[in-house]
Amino acid sequence: MTGISAEFVDALQFWATVIIVVGSALAAAIHALLTRETPSGAFGWIGVSLLFPPVGPLLYYMFGINRVRIRARRLDRASRHGLGAHQPGANAPLRDYSAFLDPRRYGLAAAGDRLSAWPIVPGNDVAVLHNGEAAYPPMLEAIERATRFVYMTTYILETNTVGRRFITALGRAAARGVDVRVLIDGVGEYYAWPGRRAVALLRREGVQAARFLPPRLIPPSLQLNLRNHRKILVTDAGVAFTGGMNIGDRHMVTETGGTADLQFRLAGPVVRQIEAVFLSDWAFATGRQSGVSRRRIAANGSAACRTVENGPTRDTERLATLLATAVTSARERVLIMTPYFLPGPALIGALQAAALRGLDVSIVLPERNNLPFVAWAARHGLGELLARGVRIYHRPPPFAHTKLFVVDDDYALVGSPNLDPRSLRLNFELAVEIFDTAAVARLAEHLRDTRADSRRYTLADLRRRRWPARLRDSFFWLFSPYL
């Protein structure tokens, strides 16, 4: 009896192990088959899972599952306020923009109607502000002139000289009874030393300050993705500021030789959309819901604008799809300036096709990057663009953090997104479409002037790299979906 029991136990252990190992391999393979976005990705993970159990399924569990999207959707469901980035869907009715939009942009406008919750609104003024020297004074003035509310979101609020000016101005506004709210990304705040972080300093000044998904030990939460990378300042005066610029001394280029960037001052009806984006993020971070102000914002200029939110809660390809659509609508040129350039296949294909059609497709990148590993990964992928006639330029120092996307002479997309997976898939971003010949002409001129001062990078330059550099670039390119 004892021998039978031992044999039974041994058999049970053996078959239980087989069932667990084979079952986990099959489960991982089926999950990859149903969820991976490309055949190559599905084949790769299916092969790893089936050929190398139990290590293969474990690797798939660790690296193959898109936890960013799962985590974002769980957070969105858990919050009654949501995380923004809502869309009407592919079957949404299209709006009539014939009163103020050029007919050649109707298709692009239609795509935006189905990718963004917001309509294009006319009557906006767009001012382009170069570097902190030009951007910070009007931002501080807007805070000082506010009488009812000041809302600000930033990824980084440094507590150096410039940062302290903003903290002091926000504190003065709160002291005179203005509703002042500041939202800082929970990871971005860690750019400052303990004891000098912005949220604590703002609260000492009487400002309502909150963190967006901050890291914590209890309960444990260390989420390096799902960052709020938006830059917003909006006040009751009917003005809003957005772009790629954080708050700090690093953007004072003349004084410190720091980081070059652009900020945009918007006045007009589009400001209400930006206000709504802030309030949605604030409600998520704090649990306190607020309605947008009802005061009508009068027309201030000739630009038609639309706010485009991007985030991983629903359609992770929203902004990438809009960019590719804009490229396909181009008739003369596509001009891009970005600090980090790791576009997806759809955008790469659109840029290649535009260059093959004879359009001027130019991309301006920093000659020296503050994140060298991103530049190395990007360099690996430049060959397929250069081979199709896309022109690449390297801008000399200072490092340019500028994000610009210009099509022909009448369309631009500006804001916080970089052209990399982190901005296009992993972060919460804010962009603004600009349909206007005057404003876009200024941006195109800036891009062309910058291009003239930059060094063209050719296919011959790429091929002249030595083997160590090629291996380094290729190695970091492997991790490009996470950079």
212-236 pLDDT, tens digit per residue, is: 988 876 665 666 678 899 999 999 9
**pLDDT digits over 289-299, tens only?**
888 888 888 89
- What is the per-residue pLDDT for 75? 58
Q: Is the pLDDT of residue 1 over 50?
A: no
- What is the per-residue pLDDT for 316? 64
CATH number of 317-482: 3.30.870.10
Nearest by Cα to 313 from 343, 338, 286, 284: 284
Amino acid letter for position 392: I
> In which element (H, E) is residue 234 found?
strand 232-235
**Would you say 113 and 456 are in contact if contact means Cβ atoms under 8 Å apart?**
no
By three-state DSSP, how is residue 408 classified? coil
Domain 70-308 and domain 317-482 have a common topology: yes
CATH superfamily of 70-308: Endonuclease Chain A (3.30.870.10)
For the packed helices 131-145 and 161-175, what is the interaxial angle rounded to 10 degrees?
10
Q: Is the pLDDT of residue 340 over 80?
A: yes
**Which residue bears the tokens 């291996």?**
471
Nearest by Cα to 428 from 342, 318, 345: 318
- What is the per-residue pLDDT for 57? 78
Contacts of 430 (CB under 8 A, 6+ apart): 230, 231, 232, 242, 274, 277, 307, 308, 309, 310, 415, 416
Beta-sheet pairing, 429-435 with 411-415: antiparallel
Angle 423-186-272 from CA coordinates, rounded to 5°: 65
**pLDDT digits over 161-179, tens only?**
999 999 999 999 999 999 9
Summary mean pLDDT of the chain:
88
**pLDDT digits over 77-104, tens only?**
555 555 555 556 667 788 999 999 999 9
Contacts of 86 (CB under 8 A, 6+ apart): 117, 309, 314
Instruction: Give the residue extent of every domain in the chain.
Output: 6-65, 70-308, 317-482
293 alpha-carbon distance from chain centroid: 26
Query: Which pair of structure tokens corresponds to residue 23?
Result: 């079952």
Work out the pLDDT band at 34, boundaries 50, 70, 90.
Answer: confident
Amino acid letter for position 117: A
Nearest by Cα to 241 from 116, 136, 112: 136
- What is the per-residue pLDDT for 390? 98
| Segment among 28-37, 278-287, 354-363 with least mean pLDDT | 28-37
- What is the per-residue pLDDT for 80? 54
**Would you say 145 and 123 are in contact if contact means Cβ atoms under 8 Å apart?**
no
Q: What is the DSSP string of 89-110?
A: -TTPPPP--TTTS-GGGHHHHH
Beta-strand runs (E) in 50-157: 121-130, 149-154
Q: How far apart are CA 150 and CA 348, in angstroms?
A: 39
What mean pLDDT is predicted for residues 41-56?
A: 76
**pLDDT digits over 320-330, tens only?**
999 999 999 99
Q: What is the DSSP string of 300-366?
A: -SSEEEEEEEE-TTS-TTHHHHHHHHHHHH-SSEEEEE-S-B---HHHHHHHHHHHHTT-EEEEEEE
- What is the per-residue pLDDT for 76? 61
| Segment among 365-369, 440-444, 479-483 with least mean pLDDT | 479-483
Contacts of 103 (CB under 8 A, 6+ apart): none
| Segment among 199-203, 230-234, 287-291, 385-389 with least mean pLDDT | 287-291
Q: How far from 55 is each of 22, 27, 58, 61, CA to CA, in Å? A: 12, 13, 5, 10
Q: What is the pTM of this model?
A: 0.88
**pLDDT digits over 112-165, tens only?**
999 988 999 999 999 999 999 999 999 999 999 999 999 999 999 999 999 999
**Cβ burial 269-299 (10 Å sphere, 16+ → b, else e):** bbbbbbbbbbbbbbbbbbeeebeebeeebee
**Would you say 411 and 433 are in contact if contact means Cβ atoms under 8 Å apart?**
yes
Work out the pLDDT band at 44, boundaries 50, 70, 90.
Answer: confident
Query: Which pair of structure tokens corresponds to residue 385?
Result: 């663009």
